[in-house]
Amino acid sequence: MPTDWIWGLVGGLMIGTAGAAFLLLNGRIMGVTGVLGGLVDGTERRGALPFLAGLILAPALAAALWGGQSHLTGNLSLVALAGVLVGFGTRLANGCTSGHGVCGMSRLAPRGILASLTYILAGALVMAVLRQGLGVL
Site residues for other proteins, 55-84, by CB under 8 A, read: 55-60, 62-63, 68-76, 78-84
Beta carbon of residue 114, minimum distance to other proteins (angstroms, whole number)? 6
Structural contact between residues 4 and 11, judged by C-beta atoms closer than 8 angstroms: no
For CA atoms 2, 122, 136, 132, the dihedral sign is positive
Beta carbon of residue 66, minimum distance to other proteins (angstroms, whole number)? 9
Beta carbon of residue 136, minimum distance to other proteins (angstroms, whole number)? 10
Structural contact between residues 104 and 115, judged by C-beta atoms closer than 8 angstroms: yes
Examine residue 134 and tell whether it contacts other proteins (CB under 8 A): no
**65 CB burial (10 A radius; 0-12, 13-18, 19+):** exposed
Dump the DSSP string for 37-70: HHHHHSS--TTHHHHHHHHHHHHHHHHHHH----
# chain residues binding other proteins, by CB under 8 A: 106
Query: Which of 44, 45, 51, 134 contacts other proteins by CB under 8 A?
Result: 51
Q: Restricting to residues 6-45, which ones interact with other proteins according to CB under 8 A?
A: 7-30, 32-33, 36-37, 40-41, 43
Q: What is the DSSP letter of 119?
A: H
Q: Restricting to residues 98-117, which ones interact with other proteins according to CB under 8 A?
A: 98, 100-107, 109-112, 114-116
